[in-house]
Amino acid sequence: MAKQKTITVQNVEVQVIAENDRDFICITDMANAKDNESRAADIIKNWIRNRYTLEFLGTWEQMNNPDFKVVEFDHFKMQAGLNSFVLSASEWIEKTNAIGLLVKKGRYGGTYAHRDIAFEFGSAISAPFKLYLIKEFQRLKEDENDRLKLDWNLQRTLAKINYQIHTDAIKENLIPKELSKQEINFVYANEADLLNVALFGITAKQWRDSNPKAE
């Protein structure tokens, strides 16, 4: 399920969602900054049908999407510039198997674009809007990173407290007096890994293997 957040860009609320580990920005909201809501879809259609935009979208997809249908893309590119050529976001997605654009229904419905593409669309609104959009998006990501760091530090603190309680309990209840020092260390390590899995979902060794450069 996508996580939805809001940023405010020049007094316009713009929805941001995270889906499949990618950030998408609502370009329908962005289009409303240029004109009224009834025209947003037309603004997006006119932007997509532009040859430069199509080349940008096609290049982005080829760089990020192994399932992108290049033949269909070439077909659209040949038509770009003709007065009769019309292309919607839904048609682009359906025909080319594109992943850089999303069309959502419901309360937070509209056309969403991967942040790279949304920033490019910002140029179609205005240069100041694009710059403020990038600034507000960066602020959102910095806030998210700060919260993640806070959560991680809190988890580490709780882990240290629980580890002390855990080791005391092991010493009192699980370690026979006749065990050697090496055998005692093995019992501690085993029980500590149970705690790591409970709190973080991985053992200490698995974390070190995944983060070889971490201290």
Q: For residue range 61-91, what is the model confidence (pLDDT) as tens digits?
A: 999 999 999 999 999 999 987 888 999 999 9
Flag the least confident range among 21-30, 105-114, 164-173.
164-173
**99 vs 160: which has the higher pLDDT:** 99
Per-residue pLDDT reduced to its tens digit, 90-132: 999 999 999 999 999 877 789 999 999 999 999 989 999 999 9
Task: For the chain, give the mean pLDDT.
Answer: 79
Residue 23 has pLDDT above 80, yes or no: yes
**By mean pLDDT, which of 9-18, 38-47, 164-173 is the weakest?**
164-173
Averaged pLDDT for residues 152-160: 55
DSSP characters over the chain: --EEEEEEETTEEEEEEEETTEEEEEHHHHHHTTS-GGGHHHHHHHHHTSHHHHHHHHHHHHHH-TT--HHHHHHHHHHTT-TT----HHHHHHHHT-SSEEEE-STT-EEEEEHHHHHHHHHHH-HHHHHHHHHHHHHHHHHHHHHHHHHHHHHHHHHHHHHHHHHHHHHHHT--TT--HHHHHHHHHHHHHHHHHHHHSS-HHHHHHH-TT--
Residue 184 has pLDDT above 50, yes or no: no
What's residue 53's pLDDT?
94
